[in-house]
Amino acid sequence: MNLRKVLSVDTIALDLKSDTKDGIIEEMIDLLMAAGKIRDLKDKKEALRVVLERERKMSTGMQNGIAIPHGKTDRVDNLVAAVALKKSGVDFGSLDGQPSRIFVMTLSPDTRTGPHIQFLAEISRQLNDPAVRDRILQAERPEDVLDILSS
C-alpha cells in the first residue's frame, strides 16, 4: 500500500503537547479534524469516543516507542490516518514498558477491514526498522516524515 494515499503533510504532527494517553488521542483526533478528514464536531466526538473505548479494552502501545491508537466508526467513509510525535515520550501501557514516542492513529469505517489491515501492515513494516524510527524522530518537517514512510 502506498502510504501517501492515506497520509499527507496535514495529518502529521511533530510536537504533540499532551503528557497523557487520552490527551495524545484527543490531539490526534484534532489533527484529523483540522485536516478535513473528520467532517464535523459530531463526527469528531464519535471518533474520539471509539478510539478511547478501543484503548480502554486493550492498550495500543506496542514496543520500540510506537503506539497505534485506532477505532472503527461509520463517521468516516474511508480509512483516515495521522502520524504524530512526542519526542519525550508518554506512558501508553506499551508491551515493553517503554514510553511511546511515535503515534499512528487510524479511523476506518465499520464495514471495511481491508484498507485498515493493509495500512497497518505497511506502516508496521516501516517502523520495525530502528533506522526508520530514528529518522522519523529527527524529522524537522512533516514532509520529512512523509518522505521517510513512503520511501
Which residues belong to the active site? 70
The cell for 125 is 513494516
Please report which helix (H) or strand (E) contains residue 58, including its range. Answer: none
Distance CA 130, CA 134 (A): 6
Please report which helix (H) or strand (E) contains residue 13, including its range. Answer: strand 12-13
Pick the closest to residue 56 from 93, 109, 30 (CA basis).
93
What percent of the residues of the chain are helix, what percent strand, and what percent coil, each to the nearest 5? 45, 20, 35
Cell 499512528 identifies what position?
A: 104
